[in-house]
Structure 1
């Protein structure tokens, strides 16, 4: 489901998707935290501003770089370990919004539900956001495939919450 509202060269996209994993909610949850994504997301290197920062604590801030080298600042807005986490995400001068991840237990693992609510800040960013929105289902399928490949290869896992 996509909703776009265009004004002053920017746009807003509200996107939802989900995928199943053969992991418990407790195991899967950590894969979607700042430090947990380092285990399976190529090039994901969060930089924390406070030594020893807890990436599950509301208010924790870190920064990553997108594929174009643009700094992206993240803030934990809400966190219920093994159930849901919501982040504010600001790619400087490009896009801003929230990313929410919720987990539903199933008989053979869990379903990961992902929701983006992003607003672009420029015409170029709006075009980039439209491409992201169009490919969001494929993007989430790629996440699932990358996680499954990581698990199949015996890749390290963060400790469950």
Structure 2
């Protein structure tokens, strides 16, 4: 994991093992699959919701202070990669790679490559970098709490 570069760009790379099978784990990282474990995650699809999140799929998420536009740039059996722009704050990519650890557990690697677009964005990137392992631990716990039930447990469709 690299720290925040003076330019405002950083690359964060860490992972965790989650107690769900690999096919379920990857589906948890699709736009619809994140609904199962991310509070307040409600992707909107300007071009209409696709059956499957394929490269070129665009969706938007909103928080109290930020609108983020996401574009699926890669989807493979073991990975999802997104380009994302949090308006006026950050831009970059997020890559999630899921590999079998065992038949029922998955090694998840998450790489953020972000550039700050403003002073607020520099704070966002610095905060994420400072707490990245704990941030991912929260993801692990939430994914395991969601288990294999819900949309992500029924197959490949539905998660972005």
Q: Same fold (TM over 0.5)?
A: yes
Which range moves more in the overlay, 36-45 or 123-132? 123-132
Asked if 1:6 corresponds to 2:6, the answer is yes
- Per-residue CA shift, 1:36-71, capped at 9, x if unaligned? 0011110000000122324521000000013x3311
What runs of 5+ residues in structure 1 fail to find an aligned partner?
none
Q: TM-score, normalised by structure 1?
A: 0.89
Alignment of 1:71 with 2:67, yes or no, is yes
Q: Could you tell me which residue of structure 2 aligns to residue 38 of structure 1? A: 35
Q: C-alpha separation between the residues in 2 aligned to 1:53 and 1:160?
A: 15
Equivalent in the alignment of 1:86: 81
Q: Provide the residue aligned with 2:126 in structure 1.
A: 130
- Corresponding residue for residue 145 of structure 2: 149
Residue 103 of structure 1 aligns with which residue?
A: 98
After TM superposition, the structure 1 = structure 2 runs for residues 108-119 of structure 1, keeping only pairs within 5 Å, are 108-119=104-115
Aligned residues: 154
Residue 16 of structure 1 contacts residue 113 of structure 1 at CA under 8 Å; is this kept in 2? Answer: yes
Gaps of 5+ in 2: none
1:155, distance to aligned residue in structure 2 (A)? 4.9
Q: 1:127 and 1:69, CA in 2 relative to 1: closer, same or farther beyond 3 A?
A: closer
Q: Deviations over 1:61-115 (max 9, x none)?
A: 000013x33110000001103x001000100111000000001112242111000
Comparing both chains, which one has the higher relative contact order based on Cα–Cα distances under 8 Å and sequence gaps of 6 or more? 2
Query: Which aligned segments of 4 or more residues in structure 1 are displaced greater than 4 angstroms?
Result: none
TM-score normalised per structure 2: 0.89
Q: Which has the higher strand share?
A: 1
